[in-house]
Structure 1
């Protein structure tokens, strides 16, 4: 602007005659321009900086503080960082080279008193370079401020020497001072709270606030956060730099509105601040602050972990064995308490790697390493659309991990990866609720709903749709119109992109469209009224699966809304309504045996033992087919051989034909490549002949894994949230008896369940096995002799004993 030089010239020209008055008048003029709305945000800060610097340069010249004088004026704090706001203090250091001690007091008084008299706040010191370095060594907060030092006037070489000395000292000592730095930051967070969660956030000192960005800059200067380029505040376009600028703009307006220095955004000022920044209303302002705070909080947490891992070990500790890299999933390992990529992992060639990393982090309750996130953000390939089965399965594993999945999702979101998978997320990110009963922003509410739904996955026949519906049930908010209707349309696109079957896409869309129906009817109408029940059934398309899904979603959604929203009374009403609507709709669909292909039938008729291992639909999915003459205990041996080979069965079709058992498994290797098919066949022959006890081998494997890693397991470990459930169904049409099992999965579970069935005398005629994320939904058609209620109860109880119990680990 043309006005800036005029104001700076006026302030500088008046410094000699009335320095205090000139400074006061020049500042008042800039503030008046801002209050009139003619300059805002960064433009205002640049104008104010110009005024202050021009005045300081002129005043220094009048005092003889010039080049070669042995004195220099150095700015730290806001002026040093070029981010002064209306009522910020001037943080200044009068630096001297100790040659003229008799002039120090005169020059200091000549500089400080006019500033005080002008009404501008002042934080000042007079020091030599050795004194500056001593303060930097003794005071962590002081050294962080000195890292922002900038020459203003006087002896430029002297100032440059001081700035370089302080930064070099910091680079040398930062590693040893990191614990003190972390402790200081945590104490500050404890006092000020999170800016993303407070009604009146402290933009400067709160967790996720401006001081955290300055902390991240200090870590970067010490070269402790190498590999975090995307999170560097200095990088153009960095989300952290953008967040910092937004917070600075809000702080600028807060000062102008308050008429004094104020770091907290007061609720009564929020609408005015939002209007000044052209943000809409206080809800829009809250969204901006929340987004900036969460971005900064994620960046500083990641930066502190990265710095801690970068700090070299000294002394005797150098002789200790380095931490082992524990495999978690294909291409994913744990190292030093973080999830990192395996040495051979290639994000540019593995589109499923992002979700495997996130799922491993959630299951093992570990943070994702910062440089790993940076590498994924830079090189990860987009998932093909529609999604193949493997990334969808990994997404479901992530979502079924309960509360521990919030941190990985936040990490992916703040690094820009979550939106590449769910572009619709941008519409709800940091969106504040309009209803005071809601605790969270809309995006966090969706995550909390999924976390609650994870404990209900065994209560429904489609746990995958429950988790996906929980994730997107409010995705239509913030777009205008009825969010259920808007969200239902978005759900069609999301479900199709994820590769769901058309019927499942319709169910997912209906879940979003009707997610408020059951709570509204149960709490406002009589759930025992036949007319009400018939109306609900008609609204839901007489769909039993949809009804039970909506019942579970209502519970998860209510618990995620806020304290007291879910209660025993509400649970009773909705539970009663769901049962009566399902009873009105009628019987559930009973699983049926699938037809055997002609090829497999012919192979079974030929007799003998056959093992096939073929490539599946995805890059790491295989179809394993095992055929052998049927005999008691064969199914558990086949499933045990699959488990011992390091193959995780995602689904299976179990049947018999012409006296042979014909069992096909869709499997994925836990790590690496699948075993050689001949090795698999030899193990099956050994199990059939009794030379290999698969149950004992599975027990020994688990014991050995625990011994190798007393603090964990050689395979992913997740806390079980949903209890296992086993129920009996009589298929009147075929006269068969079905055992339906729903449980959280674990390595070797299918082998253990089939072993129990065989030991209890239940002859498995056929079975359908599905793993949906972390939840198995298995149906076993069995012959019981005798078939009595007591026998059924004994078998069901025995099966449940080998399933992971709620609260345990799997």
Structure 2
């Protein structure tokens, strides 16, 4: 499963200083107890706002750095989730002697799991617990979700045991694909490792051919729905033909068959040449950058390059007019 976003991020503390934020949250709780909630939410919101501001500055300075900026947004959310988990599990619902059932692993899935988040991407989280109906786990998860919602984040979430995860992944292609991108964020790491191993051994093993057939059928249906052409005049950079989802589908199939954690390892197993992977990676980074600009300009999760947005993004990405071709034509 994918590694975290922080390995390729320069100057991480300029985005968010988790230790300082955690100390501030602990201090507020120590001083005011349950009455500190508004101040704690304000501190978390301020950290989110400042982190996004820093990443917007970096995007303007390096307007084609899609991988760096999306990894930065995933890093920002990681640190907030960690602070919130620690606050919920130690301050709001302390348990001195937790039982074996009172464990939680927080896992990022989907685009968040890949560490490819644009400014207004959904935060997709899976909470893993050893068994169902554990009151402490339910309380901590609920407290975390309310804090994340109070920050204005759009959270996709599930709470499952490893056995639930295996059963549902076998039955549902979307769940299986999301878990393929699963990444440990915080909490009980051995529980996460158990779930990851069971996913590989009990879901992936022996179903490779079926997965390829289903993902290609899904891709064909999506192409038909989106116009089935690379040359639409207002393309969708995520779902359109030749867009991010096509690249991700290629990587998903390769990762599923070859059991690798990240797409770069597909070179090592011989699926891509180094030149091919570099070309795919460059295209992906450029599309991710365009998507970040779309989110930043519109203030929402926008993926369609409308005519008015094409001009704005061409300017932000430093395209200029050339003889016989305008800046926006060169961008497109």
Q: Name the structure 2 match of 1:29.
A: 50
Q: Name the structure 2 match of 1:57.
A: 82
1:259 aligns with 2:283: no
Mapping of 1:309-320 within 5 angstroms?
none
> How many Å separate the matches in 2 of 1:54 and 1:187?
37
More helix by percentage: 2
Question: What TM-score comes out, normalization by structure 2 length?
Answer: 0.76
Question: CA, structure 1 residues 99+142, in 2 after alignment: closer, same or farther (shift >3 Å)?
Answer: closer
- Secondary structure, aligned partner of 1:222: helix
Question: CA, structure 1 residues 12+88, in 2 after alignment: closer, same or farther (shift >3 Å)?
Answer: farther
Q: Deviation string for 1:184-218 (max 9, x for gaps)?
A: 22111111235731111111112222122222122
More strand by percentage: 1
Question: CA, structure 1 residues 55+133, in 2 after alignment: closer, same or farther (shift >3 Å)?
Answer: same
Q: Name the structure 2 match of 1:797.
A: none
Mapping of 1:51-200 within 5 angstroms?
51-64=76-89, 70-98=103-131, 101-168=134-201, 169-194=203-228, 196-200=230-234
| 1:94–1:126 contact (8 Å) kept in structure 2 | yes
Question: CA, structure 1 residues 3+186, in 2 after alignment: closer, same or farther (shift >3 Å)?
Answer: closer
Q: Name the structure 1 match of 2:271.
A: 228
Question: CA, structure 1 residues 46+228, in 2 after alignment: closer, same or farther (shift >3 Å)?
Answer: closer
> Quick one: which of 266, 281, 302 aligns to 1:241?
281
- Secondary structure, aligned partner of 1:7: coil
> How many Å separate the matches in 2 of 1:46 and 1:123?
19
| 1:30–1:44 contact (8 Å) kept in structure 2 | no
Q: CA deviation at 1:6?
A: 6.4
Q: Deviation string for 1:73-126 (max 9, x for gaps)?
A: 000122211111100110001111118712222011111001111111110111
Q: State the number of aligned residues.
A: 283
Larger relative contact order (Cα-Cα within 8 Å, sequence gap ≥ 6) = 2
- Secondary structure, aligned partner of 1:172: coil
Q: Name the structure 2 match of 1:215.
A: 249
Question: CA, structure 1 residues 117+48, in 2 after alignment: closer, same or farther (shift >3 Å)?
Answer: same
Q: Name the structure 2 match of 1:283.
A: 329
Q: Deviation string for 1:383-412 (max 9, x for gaps)?
A: xxxxxxxxxxxxxxxxxxxxxxxxxxxxxx
Question: CA, structure 1 residues 215+64, in 2 after alignment: closer, same or farther (shift >3 Å)?
Answer: same
Coordinate RMSD, CA, aligned: 2.8
Q: Deviation string for 1:696-752 (max 9, x for gaps)?
A: xxxxxxxxxxxxxxxxxxxxxxxxxxxxxxxxxxxxxxxxxxxxxxxxxxxxxxxxx
| 1:194–1:208 contact (8 Å) kept in structure 2 | no
Q: Deviation string for 1:774-802 (max 9, x for gaps)?
A: xxxxxxxxxxxxxxxxxxxxxxxxxxxxx
> How many Å separate the matches in 2 of 1:49 and 1:213?
19
> How many Å separate the matches in 1 of 2:79 and 2:41?
13
Q: Deviation string for 1:282-323 (max 9, x for gaps)?
A: 22221xxxxxxxxxxxxxxxxxxxxxxxxxxxxxxxxxxxxx
| 1:232–1:241 contact (8 Å) kept in structure 2 | no
> How many Å separate the matches in 2 of 1:262 and 1:6?
23
| 2:110–2:177 contact (8 Å) kept in structure 1 | no
1:7 aligns with 2:16: yes
Question: CA, structure 1 residues 274+57, in 2 after alignment: closer, same or farther (shift >3 Å)?
Answer: same
> How many Å separate the matches in 1 of 2:281 and 2:178?
19
Q: Name the structure 1 match of 2:6.
A: none
| 2:15–2:54 contact (8 Å) kept in structure 1 | no
> How many Å separate the matches in 2 of 1:135 and 1:248?
30
Q: Deviation string for 1:150-204 (max 9, x for gaps)?
A: 0000111111221232233224212134333222221111112357311111111
Q: CA deviation at 1:63?
A: 2.7
Q: CA deviation at 1:128?
A: 0.6
Question: CA, structure 1 residues 250+140, in 2 after alignment: closer, same or farther (shift >3 Å)?
Answer: same
Q: Name the structure 1 match of 2:238.
A: 204
Where do 5+ consecutive residues of structure 2 fail to align? 1-9, 29-38, 259-265, 321-326
Question: CA, structure 1 residues 34+218, in 2 after alignment: closer, same or farther (shift >3 Å)?
Answer: closer
Q: CA deviation at 1:13?
A: 4.2
- Secondary structure, aligned partner of 2:282: helix
Q: Name the structure 2 match of 1:269.
A: 309
> How many Å separate the matches in 1 of 2:214 and 2:12?
46
Greater radius of gyration (CA): 1
> How many Å separate the matches in 1 of 2:130 and 2:116?
28
Where do 5+ consecutive residues of structure 1 fail to align? 287-810
> How many Å separate the matches in 2 of 1:143 and 1:232?
30
- Secondary structure, aligned partner of 2:312: helix
Mapping of 1:421-440 within 5 angstroms?
none
Mapping of 1:629-644 within 5 angstroms?
none
Q: Deviation string for 1:674-708 (max 9, x for gaps)?
A: xxxxxxxxxxxxxxxxxxxxxxxxxxxxxxxxxxx
> How many Å separate the matches in 1 of 2:215 and 2:71?
31
Q: CA deviation at 1:34?
A: 4.4
Q: CA deviation at 1:32?
A: 2.7
Question: CA, structure 1 residues 70+35, in 2 after alignment: closer, same or farther (shift >3 Å)?
Answer: closer
Q: Name the structure 1 match of 2:261.
A: none
| 2:294–2:302 contact (8 Å) kept in structure 1 | yes
Structure 1 stretches of 4+ with a deviation exceeding 6 A read 65-68
Q: Name the structure 2 match of 1:250.
A: 290
| 1:4–1:50 contact (8 Å) kept in structure 2 | no
| 1:33–1:39 contact (8 Å) kept in structure 2 | no
Question: CA, structure 1 residues 190+24, in 2 after alignment: closer, same or farther (shift >3 Å)?
Answer: farther
